[in-house]
Amino acid sequence: MKQIEILEELRDLIPPLHDMELEQLHRSIDSTSGPETPLKVWKEKNILIDGHHRYAYCTEKGYDYDVQYESFINIDAVKDYMILHQLGRRNVDPKTASYLRGKLFKNRKHSHGGARKSSGHFDHLPTSTAEQVAQETGVSEKTIRRDEKFADAVDIITEKASKGEITQEKKKEIMSKPKSQIIKESKPQDDKPKKEVKKVEPFEKVLNSFKRLSYNQQIKAVESINTYWENI
């Protein structure tokens, strides 16, 4: 059998399994001395497109595995297949599903040369890239656009961790937060120290204003205040 190729761009497209999920997968493979599900390979390029964890473990342990070949016209078609295949699995958690939908939308925009806009015709058909992806994945168009922002945020945080800008522990901490917080954490932080705003009570404001007056103006101000209180 020809050596299967690993393309990082495709391997990293799908979020990795959590530690517990990976342990369960390894135990399952050990119990049958190999995976029950065939690995899937891009026929024209001999590149692995499904089963990266299984392939790595089988290679390490020397287990045999079956291969199923699939044909695709280009890498964008491969990415579409991989993402939709993952979304079709029952154990996909909501954050992972959101990330995958966002990546699918971005991939479709890339393959179309940009997002298609609605033409206003044929209401029964999807008229924009976002609407098309929404119909395929069973969510709203607004959700798809929010998913794109979330996918961008996850990729930024992942890149920061890979570059050592943040620790892996920090990445896990961020990724455990709600999606809105993850998006916020991905945005550039203002390095400038914030100026401390001192709370000034109303009387202090008046006193400060009074001190800025000239001597004659202060006398007139005192006279005006006295007159005010005398007439109350």
Write the pLDDT tens digit of every residue in 49-89.
999 999 999 999 999 999 999 999 999 999 999 999 999 98
Burial of 42 per CB tally in 10 Å (0-12, 13-18, 19+): buried
Q: For position 36, what pLDDT does the model report?
A: 93
| pTM value > 0.75 | no
User: Would the pLDDT of 106 be above 90?
Assistant: yes
Helix (H/G/I), strand (E/B), else coil: 141? helix
Kindly report, residue by residue over 152-184, the tens digit of the pLDDT: 999 999 999 999 999 999 999 999 999 999 999
Q: Are 63 and 91 in contact, with CB atoms under 8 Å apart?
A: no
CA–CA gap between residue 207 and residue 210 (Å, rounded): 5
Residue 122: predicted pLDDT: 42
Q: What is the mean pLDDT of residues 41-45?
A: 96
3-class secondary structure, 39:
strand
With 70 as the cut, is the pLDDT of residue 197 above it?
A: no
Cα(168)–Cα(160) distance, integer angstroms:
9
